[in-house]
C-alpha cells in the first residue's frame, strides 16, 4: 500500500470526524434564535453529509487493494 494513500486516507478520516463532531456541537452554520429543532437540524445536515462522504473516501483509500 502506498504511503501517500495511507496518509491521505487517515487524513480524510480525521477531518471527517472533526467535521461531524463540530457540526453536532453546532459549529457549522448555526441558526441563532430558532425555536424549532427541525430548521436547526437541516442547517447542520450538509456538513454532516460531507463529513460522512469524506469518511467513506478515507476508508476506501485505506481498504483499496493495490492493482496489479
Q: What is the total count of domains within the chain?
A: 1
Domain membership of residue 19 (yes or no) is yes
Q: Which residue has the higher pLDDT, 33 or 65?
A: 65
What pLDDT is stored for residue 49 in this prediction? Answer: 85
Domain that holds residue 29: 3-63
Q: Check pLDDT > 50 for residue 66.
A: yes
Domain membership of residue 27 (yes or no) is yes
**What are the helix and strand counts (H, E) for the chain?**
2, 0
Domain membership of residue 58 (yes or no) is yes
Domain membership of residue 46 (yes or no) is yes
For the entire predicted model, the pTM comes to 0.66
Domain membership of residue 68 (yes or no) is no
Q: Which residue has the cell 447542520?
A: 44
Cα–chain center distance at 2: 23
9-58 pLDDT, tens digit per residue, is 999 999 988 888 877 776 555 445 555 556 666 777 777 888 899 999 99
Q: Which residue has the higher pLDDT, 61 or 48?
A: 61
Amino acid at each position: 500500500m502506498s504511503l501517500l494513500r495511507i496518509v491521505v486516507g487517515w487524513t480524510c478520516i480525521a477531518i471527517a470526524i472533526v467535521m461531524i463532531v463540530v457540526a453536532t456541537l453546532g459549529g457549522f452554520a448555526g441558526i441563532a434564535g430558532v425555536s424549532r429543532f427541525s430548521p436547526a437540524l437541516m442547517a447542520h445536515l450538509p456538513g454532516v453529509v460531507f463529513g460522512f462522504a469524506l469518511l467513506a473516501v478515507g476508508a476506501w483509500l485505506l481498504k483499496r487493494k493495490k492493482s496489479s
